[in-house]
Amino acid sequence: MTDYPRRALVASPTPPAQAARAELADAWDWVPVEDADLVVALGGDGFMLQTLHMLLERRKPIVPVFGMNLGTVGFMMNEWRQHGLEERIRRAKAFKVTPLAMTATGIDGRVHSLPAINEVSLLRETRQTAKLEVTVNDRVVLEELSCDGILVATPAGSTAYNLSAHGPILPLGSAMIALTPISAFRPRRWRGAILPDRARVKLRILDAAKRPVSAVADQREIRDVACVEVCMDRARELTLLFDPEHALDDRISMEQFVV
């Protein structure tokens, strides 16, 4: 049990989330996000990602987030209920989520650094197949991967885009990351790799001018990249709070049995 005396309330601009925000307006003396010990987020998974990215950019130390689902899937959210919020927060189980750090160098030489909570993905920009050199811990493991793209996913993000690309589901405490190709052409039988989360992945675009590739860190895109480096950013760990009966680690594990 942890007390959070100063709490901030944020909500998606959708009508259901705004209506829920109005219902909770008098439930607590809410403070601005920058003054809070805890953030209550109302919306869907997309809004949760936005909230977490906002905290990564604005807060140090980064405060915990208790989300309630007023979106579609709500994989990273708790059930929306107006009543009993105080007790739910008191009983909530904390889960640590470590984001990725992406450093993307464009063909123009500019360097962009962005965090990613779910995944970093590289995607071809035109009809031309992307050709990538894949390096892990300074060792070239694939000299040329012909594909539509490739992604590096965290355990928290392994059930998102990674799963749609037929990548593995990683339990939260696995200390692993997934390296998953997107529509690989050659080597045709390569299905990806599971790497220790201390691995450093470097993706160099071959013939970047002719075969342009974009890099996406969750929802933020950098176009026309020449090289992308990805590693875990342990200095910016995030905390999500869940009702004990709807814990994130259990949700991720149970996704393996969804048919």
253 is in an annotated binding site: no
Q: What is the pLDDT of residues 151-198, one digit of tens each?
A: 999 999 999 999 999 999 999 889 999 999 999 999 988 999 999 999
- Alpha helix segments (H runs only) across 33-171: 45-58, 85-91, 161-164
Q: Is 45 annotated as a binding residue?
A: yes
Residue 4 assigned to a binding site: no
Out of 45, 207, 224, 250, which one is annotated catalytic? 45
Task: Name the residue type at position 256.
Answer: Q
What domains lie within the chain, and their CATH numbers?
A: 7-98+237-257 (3.40.50.10330), 100-235 (2.60.200.30)
Tell me the pLDDT band of 1, cut-offs 50, 70 and 90.
very low
- The per-residue pLDDT for range 211-230, each reduced to its tens digit, is 999 999 998 999 999 999 99
Helix (H, G, I), strand (E, B) or coil at 71: coil
Is 157 part of any known ligand binding site?
A: no
Is residue 105 part of an annotated ligand binding site?
no
Winning range, highest mean pLDDT, from 101-105, 168-172, 244-248: 101-105
Q: Which pLDDT value is given to residue 59? A: 73
User: Which residues pair with residue 164 across a beta bridge?
Assistant: none
Active site residue 45: yes
pLDDT mean across residues, the chain? 93
